[in-house]
Structure 1
Amino acid sequence: MVGPWARWERHVARRRARERGTDGQHVPTETYACRECEHDWPCAPARLSLLIGFDGDRVGLMMYLAAHLARALEALPDRHPALVVGQIIYWVPRRR
């Protein structure tokens, strides 16, 4: 059984999502934080949706992320480039 506190937290999360207008999509903001959960983008749900969306097309996924990397390097000039690369690129599973 779900308690009242858990229901309240879900209600607040849905209300915040509606206010932000994201509809549950984990997309990056201008500072490359997730618009939905406010973690560094790509967050875990965004990574999962990217892997499912590209369906084994690792080259296409890397090209998509490289485009985001170029934008992120311009948007985050105060962050060390290695940290930005680690955030956006290094999570992709290696080929076996």
Structure 2
Amino acid sequence: MSHLPLRPLWLCRACAAPWPCAPAKLRLAREYAGNRVALCLYLSSVLHDAATDLHLLDPHGAPGPQQLFDRFIGWATPSRPGVEPESGRPDGGPAPASGTPAGQDSASPS
């Protein structure tokens, strides 16, 4: 059985876990292999739909923004808020050139 969402509850049709469940995440990761941007765009669109549906079903008990982000997008992003990007720069820019102190651009005056 396919692990697709049952709307407007946003539960998995196969296992009844909150969607995307673990099997759905695996399927999505395979489907979007090599195109993380497209995966995140898709997940952003379903997050928007889920936020609307879940709020309409239960305005006072709907998941908050951080919970929805973690559930729908957080698992697919390469880094989490507050975690340094791979370059080591907080702004995500390119790593400094060899011999340039970390945190200082080679074009920046000393």
Is the TM-score greater than 0.5? Answer: yes
Q: In 1, Cα distance between the equivalents of 2:77 and 2:41?
A: 14
Aligned match of 1:82 in 66, 81, 89?
A: 66
Higher helix share: 1
Q: How does 1:15-54 map to 2 (within 5 A)?
A: 24-30=1-7, 31-54=9-32
Find the aligned partners of 1:41 and 1:65 in 2 and give their Cα distance.
11
Deviation track 1:6-62 (CA, whole Å, cap 9, x = no partner) reads xxxxxxxxxxxxxxxxxx100011111111100011111100010100111000000
Greater relative contact order (CA < 8 Å, ≥ 6 in sequence): 1
Structure 1 residue ranges without an equivalent (≥5): 1-23
TM-score between the two structures when normalised by the length of structure 2: 0.61
- Runs (4+) of structure 1 exceeding 3 A deviation are none
Give the % identical residues.
Answer: 34
Partner of 2:96: none
Mapping of residues 53-72 of structure 1, within 5 Å? 53-72=31-50
Q: Give the distance between the partners of 1:82 and 1:76, measured in 2 at CA.
A: 14
- Inter-CA distance 34–74: structure 2 relative to 1 (3 Å threshold): same
Aligned to 2:5, what secondary structure does the other structure show? Answer: coil
Q: Distance in 1 between matches of 2:34 and 2:19?
A: 20
Q: Which has the higher Rg, Structure 1 or Structure 2?
A: 2
- The alignment of Structure 1 onto Structure 2 pairs a total of residues equal to 73
Name the Cα RMSD after superposition: 1.4
